Structure 1
Amino acid sequence: MSFPGRLSVKLAALGAVFVTALGSIAAHADPITLNIVDVAGNLQLTQKGFEAFKAKYPNLVSNITYTNAPAPQLPGKIKAMQAAGRADIDLVLTGTDALAAGIEQNLWLKLLPDNAGAFPGLLDKYAPGPRKMQDLAQGYGIEVAYMPAGPLIEYNPAKVGDPPKTPEQLLQWCKAHPNKLIYARPANSGPGRTFLMGLPYVLGDKNPQDPINGWDKTWAFLKALNDCIPYYPGGTSAVMKELGEGTRDMTVTVTGWDLNPRALGIVPADFKVQAFDNMTWVNDAHYMVIPKGVPKDKVAVLFKLMNFMLEPAQQALTYDDGYFYPGPAVKDVTLARAPAHSQEVIKKYGRPEYDKWIADRPHQIPLSAQAMVAAFQKWDRDIGAQKTK
């Protein structure tokens, strides 16, 4: 008999939170400025959506400022800001890297289930793959974009006649062609961390979700690979620049970082990708998170903004130029709904094999927040310590 009572009390409480949030919006006389920080390159996918929100609700938002920052530096900045009692950042756009670090350091406002009433039907909106990625946020973020990521190998076909199909072949190629393979520091690179998290599945490690006690083969492989890699750039953009200029012949990549640099002319259009024979996809996502300490009136507006960004019209914009391919996290947002320019780019630079690989290969979510932080720390200490720039 007690369960229905508890449930009704809980629903009433959630409703009260939502009503309070709406009341805060109504009571806020003047439109506000929102400060958004992007550590994932997500603004390529979402800035037009944010601007559409501002245009639709001028009574709520007068201005939006946008800042880009490296993911590893953000948690320290937010921690200092919170210690000083300031709220200079209202919304953070992040991949799994800074999401995990912020959860670990208790930096983010808990959104779910605490404020579930403000996000009606949220979980039912997501397609199956993105739905699992939303769980990864542990209630601290709202997923806004999705990508079945990799790991994939990208290479210059003029220099690589027989691309590696296994990690062992990759190591052999690297040793035979020293300094021609690089990848970026995983703590600040989607392709880098996808490679790091994908190797345990390909190599058959005993526990792919436990980087400290379950990745013996992965750490041994990365140490061996370290001998023929000249250095580890601090981000993926530098990797793609060197690949495109011909300084390097091969790197690790993910679907979006394959399509987008070729569409932008940074990497030649004819460069190719290869999947490992027994690859498991490690999926990726971008999230909207709110630092603790943001004023309640702003939080109420941010909740409304987050819901707006999950509407089909805004989700269709995330196809972009293939940066986070495919992009949409919610159900039934097909390429046909994307802007004409996005459709043209993806038809020209997309790869038919992606649909087949995505359908045929198994999929896994990334490491939990705590495990991912541990993996980054171990990689920084044991692999990249002497070679990261």
Structure 2
Amino acid sequence: MQRGHVGQRHCPRGGSGPTWAVELRRERQSVASRNTERRVRRPRRRGNRDEGIADTKVQCPRPTRGATSPASGAAPAWRIEMLPTPITTPPVGRALITGASGGMGAVYADRLARRGFDLILVARNSARLEAVAARVADATGRQVETLTSDLRRADHVDDIEDRLRTDERIAMLVNNAGVGSATPLLQADIGTMRGMIALNVEALTRLTYAAAPGFVARGGGTIINMASIAAIGPEILNGVYAGTKAFVVALTQSLHHELASRGVRVQAVLPGAVATDFWDVSGAPLASLPAGIVMSTEDAVDAALAGFDQGELITLPSLPDPADWQAYEDARRALFPNLSRSEPAARFGVGRAPAAAT
């Protein structure tokens, strides 16, 4: 990828009203660590232009206003969470979505834009990312910015971290980017496993820690983390993949414990099989899966957002009865009093011998 930032902000097409010109401005930075490609479209400036900037004019109609804002809704009869937390409407501003060039990330982009968010979309496939951005901007009238970045690379994550720390308009982070594997451990390539950990764990953690302090300082914000049913069913797919997703669930629960009282909403989404290219990449083609276990991306995201609106901390889009998850959580928490004690459990027969009589 060529070093430097390419700025382009997408505006919607179609509709009535006067048109306005926007520019594609290529700016090269001298800092070698800046590898993220950024596209922003801005209204054309009058007068002299900066030297060394190549401009491509695009005609777009003025964006429409009045997009729907998130519905606060009434308190649900049931919710999955570790601490009692009032359901609050997240502040509408910008939502940064990783893995947004397709699959569930692209659907999140559409749905959040329709809720009134402007978007910052992050992915490594620039062509697909631009196509999603243009489609969402045209359909919703929201401003959509793209950042081309490979989050498996630490230096690329640097740029997204900086944006999360400095852009006070960002009100939501959707950690959707991830990769999986269906390859058994002994056949798996260790380099591939390390790349999976870098994306699923390290990048997600870094971006979360970049966003959270600002959300706390501003009195509100939302972090949605994409996990998987493999987090609670490690026998289903590759064990390293399951471990990365178990980490996501544990981190989300801990964040909720620490930040719920400070206005920050968090959610972990645990989808089952979803119709994306995840399966072809993981080594288990989608066509090989029974149709009855595969959910569409639209249904998966709509269910996840419905769970968010209902106040859920953990959302399993396929689970018919939420009481099943609550029973799982209750059993987990019931272990707490006996998880750390001064002596081994009597069932092991290895307790300290009684002191000898003197």
Q: TM range, normalised to the smaller chain? A: under 0.3
> What's the TM-score once normalised by structure 1's chain length?
0.23
Bigger radius of gyration among the two: 2
Q: Report 1 or 2 for greater relative contact order, CA contacts < 8 Å, sequence distance ≥ 6.
A: 1
> What's the TM-score once normalised by structure 2's chain length?
0.24
- Structure with greater helix share of residues: 1
